[in-house]
């Protein structure tokens, strides 16, 4: 099935916004769950940045924030942030935060070399 995004709540989404949101979801699949919804992701030349965080109560639903930088009629830099709720189809959901492999390490210092005691 082809990946699809449906807008549940918020302003209009363009086709490029949908492609960028899908790319953000795929990018975050390998990242630590603590960074979901905190990192602003986007393309270099685009004035828009996105944060995507899964909504834990419902699968395939995400809260998206879009930050857009632009200049007003007087040439002053401005910023606009919009909040959206989307639903995806044909996309594997992000794993649950507690079952993500990044949380499996119980001993944070296990990989550090230990000195011999004298």
User: Considering the entire predicted model, what is its pTM?
Assistant: 0.78
Question: Given a cut of 60, is residue 107 above it in pLDDT?
Answer: no
Which tokens is 76 given? 């002053």
Number of domains in the chain: 1
Residue 69 lies in a domain: yes
Residues 6+ apart with CB under 8 A from 91: 3, 22, 25, 60
Residue 114 lies in a domain: no
Q: In which domain, by residue range, is 38 found? A: 4-103
Residue 27 lies in a domain: yes
Q: Give the pLDDT of residue 117.
A: 57
Share of the chain above pLDDT 90, in %: 57
* Contact between residue 6 and residue 89 where contact means Cβ atoms under 8 Å apart: yes
Residue 112 lies in a domain: no
Residue 118 lies in a domain: no
Q: Which residue has the higher pLDDT, 105 or 77?
A: 77
Q: Which of 53-57, 81-85, 97-101 has the lowest mean pLDDT?
A: 97-101
Question: Given a cut of 90, is residue 61 above it in pLDDT?
Answer: yes
């Amino acid at each position: 099935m082809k990946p699809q995004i449906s807008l549940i709540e918020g302003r209009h989404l363009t086709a490029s916004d949908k492609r960028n949101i899908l790319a953000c979801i795929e990018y975050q699949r390998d990242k630590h769950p603590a960074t979901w919804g905190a990192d602003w992701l986007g393309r270099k030349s685009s004035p828009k940045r996105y944060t995507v965080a899964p909504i834990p109560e419902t699968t395939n639903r995400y809260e998206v924030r879009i930050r857009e930088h632009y200049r007003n009629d007087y040439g002053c830099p401005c910023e606009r942030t919009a909040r959206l709720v989307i639903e995806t189809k044909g996309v594997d959901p992000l794993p649950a935060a507690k079952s993500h492999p990044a949380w499996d390490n119980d001993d944070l210092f296990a990989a550090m070399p230990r000195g011999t005691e004298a």
